[in-house]
Homo-oligomer: A and B are copies of this chain.
Amino acid sequence: MSGDTLIVINPNSSQTVTDGIKLALDPLRRFGTPIRCLTLKEGPHGIENQRQADLTIGPMLRLAARQKDAAGYVIACFGDPGLHALRDQTALPALGIQEAGVMTALTLGQRFGVIAILPQSIPRHLRAFGSMGVLDRFAGDRALGLSVTDLADQNKSLDALIAAGKRLRDEDSADVLIMGCAGMAQYRTTLEHETGLPVVEPCQAAATMALGQIALNLSHKGTYDAG
């Protein structure tokens, strides 16, 4: 038996990021399904490598299991840690922002470019894109190249996003961009204006698909008792 709320889990411990995710999802609240965004207290402040990502899976699965009113889930870390484990644990719709971000981008352009926070995340992204089977549509993946201090500076962050987006457009021939992180929705419109390209904020993409699957009783398990 399922509940009525879309649960969005930020697997890092940064409330600022969770607040950014909430903001990103505001335009989807009119779809009528409550959305609750949670911060994983046991997570690292930011997920910087596969080891940190993998270690969030245990607590994330427990946090998810505790949400008795859940109608579906979004894992809100670009890297989708524990996505398939969560799908083993529940029949409710479970979306990852990386997977959904890519699938949405593929309806908006022919070659997608990704803006990563950190350069060391890029091989991890590529493993995921290979697993998704979408590398023929991949243009490039560029890191912001900012220190943690700089990331806290909104102007520096926006400038770096725009610079990375323009390199993806001009050097890698991307015609659609994906923000390779959660919590930066506030920059999306400016980034679209500056690059002239559609920009996918992946939490928005995942929540859209999750809300649709909830409304349609669509599950990776085939059929389930949606209560």
Give the B-binding residues of A (Cβ under 8 A).
27-28, 30-32, 49-55, 57-58, 61, 82, 84-89, 95, 99-100, 103-104, 106-111, 122-124, 126-128, 130-137, 140-141, 173, 175-176, 189, 192-193, 195-201, 204-205, 208-209, 211-213, 215-223
- CB proximity of A91 to chain B, nearest CB, Å: 10
Asked if A222 contacts B204 (CB within 8 A), the reply is no
Copy total for this chain: 6
Q: How far is the CA of A52 from the CA of B84 in the complex (A)?
A: 11
Asked if A198 contacts B215 (CB within 8 A), the reply is no
Asked if B192 contacts A223 (CB within 8 A), the reply is yes
Q: Which of B58, B107, B176 contacts A209 (CB 8 A)?
A: B107
Residue of B nearest to A106 (CB): B103
Identify whether the interface residues of A are mostly helix, strand, loop, or mixed. Answer: helix
Residue of B nearest to A81 (CB): B54
Asked if B108 contacts A218 (CB within 8 A), the reply is yes
Asked if B215 contacts A124 (CB within 8 A), the reply is no
Asked if B130 contacts A136 (CB within 8 A), the reply is yes
Q: Which of B27, B89, B176, B205 contacts A51 (CB 8 A)?
A: B89
